[in-house]
Amino acid sequence: CCMRVQRVINRSDPKGGRCAYTFIVPQQKMTGALCVNTASANQSEVQALRAELKRQQEQMDRLRGQLEQEGVLVMEVRALRKESNNMNSRIAQLYAQLLNEVITKKDQILEQKRVESLLLNATAQALQVSNNYRELEKKYGALTSMMSTQNQFISRLEKQCQCKNSPHTTVVSVYHNYSSDANEMTNDVQRDQSLPAAQQQENSMLVGPLPTTAADALTEPPFISFPVTKTPGPWRDCQHVLDSGEVTSGIYLLRPQGTNRLLQAWCEQSRSQGGWTVIQRRQDGSVNFFRTWEQYKQGFGNLDGEYWLGLEHLYWLTKQSQYKLRVSLEDWQGRQVFAEYNSFHLEPETDWYRLRLGHYHGTAGDSLSWHNNKAFTTLDRDKDSYSGNCAHFQKGGWWYHMCAHSNLNGVWYRGGHYRSRYQDGVYWAEFHGGSYSLKRVSMMVKPI
Ligand SMILES: [Ca+2]
């Protein structure tokens, strides 16, 4: 362990042949561990100690390494424990959540069951109500038909009385208002167009303005007076009747061009230059106008009283050429006004007899243009623009919109102003408003 330091500082150039110096630096004083030359010490002992030291050092290193490893493990364990705690709390939380959800779901199922049972109850009630409504409708239909039958019967009796009182009056029975079954009377004015041709021919003998036999007169009591005409007809329309020289207002047999459809209508030949085919008339409330689609299609009422010509007839009639429409109105003070439309026709049944109307002029005010281009609606066929059925509220059939500025097929109330839950009177809004039921109303068409 002993060190001797010897440094050569400089050396002269050997080529110059000069002397060379050699400095010998004295041994430095040792400040570190004393280096003792113990030659006398036991070498083997030292070596043993050294080996022991080395071994212990190695052991210490190993222990340190183990310690370090254990430290890491401890840290890991701590981290794991922490994580485990977190997991536990998370699981507890999730469990609580799950429990809550299960409870909520149970509640929901109960609620759902409750709502379902409510719904079932409501449906059953609705069915019950609709059944009741249907029953009521049936009863109402039966009552109205009974009422109109009675009305007819009364008017028939009245006519018979008149006939008996004035035996000189020329009357002709031409008009089947009763079916062959005496117990079941109808008030459809037009003949059934679906009858076979042979039967139609037979019937046409009865509906034409020809005198009937005494037997006919017995079985069909006469009650309608027909004008005596030069020719039996049928005519295209009432203008055709007028052009043929028939100037008396009354019932005539018509057959629109292009059809085999025979129909009867009242021809108005004295008012507004004549030639008018009356398609609707109200005057005394004798006929119920709250009818079905089929009845509005075929027509109903009494030709010399209140009646509706029928949409199908009206369709074929106004299909022949350009027609205009005249609406005549009279209030309960006797004031008369009119509304005229310079064109008028209907679309076919496939388009629900949609109304096509021209421009208005007149004295009544325009309460029909609002219904232009609207389909016809009845109680059993709702084609109006309203969410409900206008016919149900207005008690008639009309080209309802949402719902009506005019309701000439409504309920005929006596005296003008009426009180009703709905605006269901025979009204023309521009003339006295919707709460005034008019006394006399008629709708007529005439070719331009
Ligand atoms: Ca509707």
84-108 pLDDT, tens digit each: 899 999 999 998 999 988 888 988 9
Question: Cα 320–322–325 angle (5° rounding)?
Answer: 110
User: Nearest-CA neighbor of 356 among 337, 376, 382, 384?
Assistant: 376
Do the domain assignments include residue 202?
no
Domain boundary among 125, 151, 177: 151
320-368 pLDDT, tens digit each: 999 999 999 999 999 999 999 999 999 999 999 999 999 999 999 999 9
List, as ranges, residues with CB under 5 A of the ion ligand 1. Answer: 382, 384, 386
Distance 384 CA to ligand 1 centre (A): 5
Query: Which pLDDT band holds residue 290 (cuts at 50, 70, 90)?
Result: very high
On whether both 366 and 258 belong to a single domain, the answer is yes
Do the domain assignments include residue 26?
no
On whether both 118 and 254 belong to a single domain, the answer is no
Q: Which residues pair with 50 in a beta bridge?
A: none
Instruction: Determine if residue 356 is left, alpha or beta; phi over 0 gives left, psi from -120 to 50 gives alpha, anything else beta.
Output: beta
What pTM value is reported for the model?
0.54
* Residue 319 pLDDT > 90: yes
Cis peptide before 234 (omega within 30 of 0): yes
- The pLDDT assigned to 24 comes to 66
CATH number at residue 380: 3.90.215.10
Do the domain assignments include residue 219?
no
Do the domain assignments include residue 319?
yes
Phi first, then psi, for residue 411 (nearest 5°) are -85, 130
108, with CB counted inside 10 A (0-12, 13-18, 19+), is exposed
On whether both 247 and 372 belong to a single domain, the answer is yes
Average pLDDT in the chain:
81
Do the domain assignments include residue 183?
no
Distance 377 CA to ligand 1 centre (A): 8
Phi first, then psi, for residue 84 (nearest 5°) are -60, -45
Contacts for 408 with CB less than 8 Å, ≥ 6 apart: 280, 282, 327, 396, 398, 426, 427, 428, 441, 443
Distance 389 CA to ligand 1 centre (A): 4
Domain boundary among 151, 178, 195: 151
Do the domain assignments include residue 205?
no
Distance 328 CA to ligand 1 centre (A): 28
On whether both 255 and 123 belong to a single domain, the answer is no
- The pLDDT assigned to 430 comes to 97
Do the domain assignments include residue 29?
no
On whether both 106 and 246 belong to a single domain, the answer is no
Tokens of 400: 């309802």
388-437 pLDDT, tens digit each: 999 999 999 999 999 999 999 999 999 999 999 999 999 999 999 999 99
Distance 312 CA to ligand 1 centre (A): 22
Distance 385 CA to ligand 1 centre (A): 5
Do the domain assignments include residue 216?
no
Q: Using a pLDDT cut of 70, give the percent of the chain over it.
A: 76
Domain boundary among 135, 151, 167: 151
Instruction: Give the β-pairing of 250-254 and 355-357.
Output: unpaired
Tokens of 244: 């043929």
Distance 127 CA to ligand 1 centre (A): 21
Q: Long-range contacts for 377-384 (Cβ within 8 Å, ≥24 apart)?
A: 377/352, 378/291, 378/292, 378/293, 378/296, 379/290, 379/291, 379/292, 380/292, 380/293, 381/293, 381/352, 383/352
Distance 393 CA to ligand 1 centre (A): 11
331, with CB counted inside 10 A (0-12, 13-18, 19+), is middle
Query: What range does the domain containing 141 cover?
Result: 49-151
Instruction: Report the half-sphere exposure of 441 (CA within 13 A, side-chain side).
Output: 24
Rounded to whole angstroms, the Cα distance separating 437 from 443 reads: 16
Number of domains in the chain: 2
Distance 394 CA to ligand 1 centre (A): 12
Phi first, then psi, for residue 251 (nearest 5°) are -90, 130
